[in-house]
Structure 1
Amino acid sequence: MLDLALLFVVSLVANTLSSLAGGGAGLLQLPILLFLGLAFPVALATHKLASVALGVGATLKHLRSRTLDWRFALVVLGFGLPGVWLGATVILHVPEHAALIALAVLTTGLGIHSLLSPELGQYDAATNRAGWRLWLGGAVLFLIGVLNGSLTSGTGLFVTLWLIRWFGMDYKQAVAYTLVLVGLFWNGTGALALALQAGIHWPWVPVLLAASVLGGYLGAHWGLVRGNHTIKRAFEMVTIATGMSLFWKAFF
């Protein structure tokens, strides 16, 4: 019971921050699964499944607020899902050390870039939604999908920043897309692919699902109430903390 209580509290905090910032639940949730004794492949598959519930909680909130354009959402899914499946299929054959270092550098860079760009994501101005620019943006989403399927944490943050930088969304809108599409659909695809290879630790799933749904709803609610500036600061905090955590896991 003590293990389950610890798992619920840590997962709730992780998913609330992730829902507010647009990614990064694996910063806390995956390490606690490893700390409690799960092997890495099983912990990763279990974490991915729990992250689907984060998408459910956020979806419930954002559907009520009508913040999503579902035609553009289909574009994100169409480009991203094949990459997720590919990444989840090959992850168990990739050297973890090299993958962690690469992800740590990229994730930390996201936070620093946001810190150095005060106006980034403060206003919504749709761009690059047609022609070759749409296809180029989609190709990057495919590559991020590969990372999402194959690496442990932080890739939702990549989607958030790419939607802001390339497609002209503000932080509030980009986080909504990330939580619903990455949290629900991308992570669901990754969880299925990993579960077929490594399995899932089902006794802990109900606790993780409850914490993820509640955390997803709370984070989405606070993001809608507080606005772009608060979301931007949460994004920067989570990205840099995630990057530092990945560096630590890579070298120690």
Structure 2
Amino acid sequence: MSILDQTLLFVIALMANLLSALSGGGAGLVQLPALIFLGLPFGVALATHKVASVALGLGATLRHLKENTLERRFTGFILITGLPGVMIGASFILQVPERAAEIALGLLTMGLGLYSVLSPGLGQAYLPRNRSRRGYLLGGVGLFLIGVLNGSLTSGTGLFCTLWLVYWFGLDYKRAVAYTLVLVGIFWNGTGALVLGVLGEIRWSWLPALIAGSLIGGYLGASLGIRHGNRWIKRAFEAVTLLVGLGLILK
């Protein structure tokens, strides 16, 4: 790639991942289409995007670790329930018709944003719930299904995880976004990238600019969320879900 193309990739990755780190997902809305527009086939673009999105998680982790907001047992629960779904989804995505899945995902993602808009108090306070055996079982099923989406589809699935943690487990937006960025960003996306890399192809020469932009954007977005709190994050979440959903439908 030329220096101009690398610079363009860096700027795109920086802006997309900054907003994603603030709202809890949605970087793929900008980053993946940019890779396709610049000449990568869908499968190669998806695998390359997944690798770069791990850098978003790393950048956000560097900032969130200072806040010490993650519970060790709950972190393990999210990993154990979500990762099998990611592996299943990533194994089948290259054989699934893309367009119908994107429209369905777009409608669902817009629904998330509208639900948050119509629920003013949602995610504004940390009110843990559903921590019984039944609550964990149903919550784990939800995380498994979101993991399948994360492994198989391209944009906005981190937003599903963020809202599920808020709705089902009673996390505030600040905590939910921290879990999403660290666990989905690093471990779920890393697993998806590994599976897609084995089954398909990763364009390694494109990754330096993408990783640099993702790392810096993830750190800056996480810093903004921590500084401004739940109301800012909620508004960013709503804006990103509506834009991601509309973008997927109109793509």
- How high is the TM-score relative to the length of structure 1? 0.98
* CA-to-aligned-CA distance 1:199-245 (integer Å, 9 cap, x gap): 10001111111111101100110100000000000000100000010
- Distance in structure 2 (CA, Å) of the matches to 1:67 and 1:117: 24
Match of 2:218 in 1: 216
CA RMSD between the two structures: 0.6
User: 2:189 corresponds to which letter in structure 1?
Assistant: N
2:87 to 85, 88, 94: 85
Answer with 168-177 or 123-132: which moved more. Answer: 123-132
Which of 9, 23, 26 in structure 1 is aligned with 2:25? Answer: 23
Which residue of the partner structure matches residue 208 of structure 2? 206
Q: How many residues align?
A: 249
* Aligned equivalent of 2:138: 136
Residues 119-164 of structure 1: per-residue CA shift (max 9 Å, x gap): 0000001111221111100001000000000001100000000000
Question: 2:234 is matched with which residue?
Answer: 232
The amino acid across from 2:116 in the alignment is S
Match for 1:146 among 148, 172, 183? 148
Letter in 2 for 1:11: A
Once residues 130 and 212 of structure 1 are traced to their aligned partners in structure 2, the CA distance between those partners, rounded to angstroms, is 37
Q: Which ranges in structure 1 are unaligned for 5 or more consecutive residues?
A: none
What residue is the counterpart of 2:47 in the other structure?
Answer: 45
Structure 2 unaligned regions, length at least 5: none
The percentage of counterpart residues that share the same residue type is 64
Aligned residue number for residue 76 of structure 1: 78
CA distance in 2: counterparts of 1:163 and 1:119, whole angstroms: 15
| Aligned residue number for residue 247 of structure 2 | 245
* Higher mean C-alpha displacement, 127-136 vs 178-187: 127-136
Amino acid in structure 2 at the alignment position of 1:121:
G
Deviation string 1:85-142 (CA, Å, 9 cap, x unpaired) is 0000000111111111110111010011111111000000111122111110000100
Could you tell me which residue of structure 2 aligns to residue 97 of structure 1?
Answer: 99
Aligned match for 1:158, one of 140, 157, 160: 160
Read off the aligned partner of 1:170 and give its amino acid letter. D
1:105-184 alignment, distance < 5 Å: 105-184=107-186
TM-score (norm 2): 0.98
